[in-house]
């Protein structure tokens, strides 16, 4: 029993992650079909397995995470999106609403943006989002203070509301929810638009501009992520040398060091739990944990 509890404690993030995906898969199976159970169990298994791998090979943390993100993102975009025709992007929710149906987009919103954030914050962004993978590969971390524009809720919510209005307009004119050819062209066009605007904006206003400033999914999950069970936590803040490598490596331009100096968990609503700050810290100050676990008060 003692060994069992030690194993559970050691791998608790992986077990919780797998458990959440399993439960979600079972629930969605009840409403839709068994393919959703396979999908969520598969994603949960990959996420858990990579988290265990990282525990044994922490130096490979970013390679393993990006490999996972590429695999899941490629599957969601190319197989489910372009081949099967399931659109996971935000406007699809309103195309479907207009047509009176439920497809992957609404399920993605509920699972990744309304349930998962209570446990793993915006973790979907650093482990499954294909646009996030593209930005991570192409967006330099611009830290020129003259250029950086920080997130504005006014801009983010205006963009979201504008997108909802545009989506209903497009649904009224072309009805992409029931027209598979139209839907595929929309998927291609929308992804090209997001990639281009994110790529261009980053050069003017700093790293991951689209994610930080505009993405409607972030706007929604960012309301919940500050209450996440798991967060980046300073487990021994007294070892911090104020080198600021964590700040320099954060793609969301979060002032990690300030949180560390105040012995506070990273509570920023835009943290995507990429763990780049953990990888950058040579003093082992940071860890992904439950509330104040191991923290020196
Ligand atoms: S913020 Fe949006 S585009 Fe960026 S990684 Fe998250 S879901 Fe993807
Ligand atoms: S604070 Fe750390 S985990 Fe969060 S986005 Fe920045 S580097 Fe990634
Ligand atoms: S990288 Fe580590 S030691 Fe350096 S400022 Fe950040 S938390 Fe402190």
Distance 36 CA to ligand 1 centre (A): 22
Please give the pLDDT value at position 296.
41
Is the per-residue pLDDT at 189 higher than 50? yes
Please give the pLDDT value at position 232.
96
Pick from 292, 290, 296: nearest CA to 9:
290
Is the per-residue pLDDT at 120 higher than 50? yes
77 lines ligand 2 (CB under 6 A): no
Question: Which residue, by CA, sits nearest to atom 3 of ligand 3?
Answer: 240
pLDDT confidence band for 146 (50 / 70 / 90): low
Could you tell me the end-to-end alpha-carbon distance of the chain, in angstroms, rounded to an integer? 31
263 lines ligand 3 (CB under 6 A): no
pLDDT in tens, 86-105: 778 888 888 888 888 877 77
Is the per-residue pLDDT at 260 higher than 90? yes
Mean pLDDT value across residues 147-153: 82
- Provide CB contacts within 8 A for 45, sequence distance 6+: 18, 21
Please give the pLDDT value at position 145.
64
Q: Ligand 2 pocket check: which of 266, 278, 280 to mutate, most ligand atoms within 8 Å of Cβ?
A: 266
- Residue bearing the bigger pLDDT, 122 or 80: 122
Class of domain 230-289: alpha beta
Mean pLDDT value across residues 217-226: 94
Closest ligand 3 atom to the C-alpha of 277?
1
Question: Which residue, by CA, sits nearest to atom 4 of ligand 2?
Answer: 271
- Strand 286-289 and strand 231-234: the pairing is antiparallel
232 lines ligand 3 (CB under 6 A): no
Is the per-residue pLDDT at 253 higher than 70? yes
Distance 211 CA to ligand 1 centre (A): 5
Mean pLDDT value across residues 176-185: 83
Average model confidence (pLDDT) across the chain:
88
128 lines ligand 2 (CB under 6 A): no
244 lines ligand 3 (CB under 6 A): yes
Please give the pLDDT value at position 207.
87
Closest ligand 1 atom to the C-alpha of 270?
1
285 lines ligand 3 (CB under 6 A): yes
125 lines ligand 1 (CB under 6 A): yes
Closest ligand 2 atom to the C-alpha of 272?
5
Please give the pLDDT value at position 278.
96
> What string of DSSP letters covers 27-47?
HHHHHS-HHHHHHHHHHHHHH
- Residue bearing the bigger pLDDT, 276 or 140: 276
Closest ligand 1 atom to the C-alpha of 215?
2
pLDDT in tens, 25-78: 888 887 778 888 898 899 999 999 999 999 999 999 999 999 999 999 998 888
For residue 238, give the ligand nearest its CA.
Answer: 3
280 lines ligand 2 (CB under 6 A): no
Pick from 99, 71, 274: nearest CA to 183:
99
Spatial contact of 120 and 113, defined as CB atoms under 8 Å apart: no
Cα–Cα distance measured from residue 51 to residue 13, given in angstroms and rounded to the nearest whole number: 8
Place of tokens 């994610």: 211
Closest ligand 2 atom to the C-alpha of 280?
7
112 lines ligand 1 (CB under 6 A): no
- Residue bearing the bigger pLDDT, 121 or 108: 121
Please give the pLDDT value at position 295.
45
Secondary structure of 194-238 in HEC code, one letter for each residue: HHHHHHHHHHHHCCCHHHHHHCHHHHHHHHHHHHCCCEEEECCHH
In the chain, what are the domain boundaries?
84-229, 230-289
Closest ligand 2 atom to the C-alpha of 252?
5
């Amino acid at each position: 029993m003692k060994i069992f509890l030690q194993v559970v404690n050691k791998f608790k993030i992986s077990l919780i992650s797998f458990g959440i995906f399993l439960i979600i898969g079972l629930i969605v199976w009840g409403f839709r079909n068994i393919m959703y159970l396979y999908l969520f169990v598969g994603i949960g298994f990959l996420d858990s397995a990579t988290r265990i791998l990282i525990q044994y090979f922490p130096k490979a943390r970013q390679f393993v995470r990006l490999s996972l993100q590429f695999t899941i993102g490629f599957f969601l975009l190319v197989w489910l999106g372009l081949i099967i025709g399931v659109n996971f992007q935000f406007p699809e929710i309103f195309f479907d609403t207009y047509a009176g149906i439920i497809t992957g987009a609404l399920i993605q919103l509920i699972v990744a943006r309304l349930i998962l954030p209570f446990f793993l914050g915006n973790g979907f962004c650093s482990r499954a989002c294909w646009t996030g993978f593209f930005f991570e590969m192409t967006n330099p971390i611009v830290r020129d203070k003259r250029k950086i524009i920080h997130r504005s809720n006014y801009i983010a919510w205006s963009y979201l509301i504008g997108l909802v209005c545009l989506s209903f307009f497009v649904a009224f004119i072309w009805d992409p929810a029931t027209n598979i050819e139209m839907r595929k062209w929309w998927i291609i066009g929308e992804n090209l638009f997001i990639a281009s605007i994110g790529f261009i904006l980053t050069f003017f206003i700093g790293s991951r501009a689209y994610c930080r400033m505009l993405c409607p999914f972030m706007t929604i999950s960012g309301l919940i992520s500050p209450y996440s069970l798991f967060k980046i936590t300073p487990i021994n803040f007294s070892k911090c040398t104020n080198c600021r490598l964590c700040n320099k490596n954060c793609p969301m331009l979060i002032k990690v060091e300030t949180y560390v100096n105040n012995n506070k968990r990273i509570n920023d609503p835009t943290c995507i739990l990429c763990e780049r700050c953990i990888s950058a810290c040579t003093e082992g100050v940071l860890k992904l944990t439950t509330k104040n676990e191991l923290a020196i008060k």
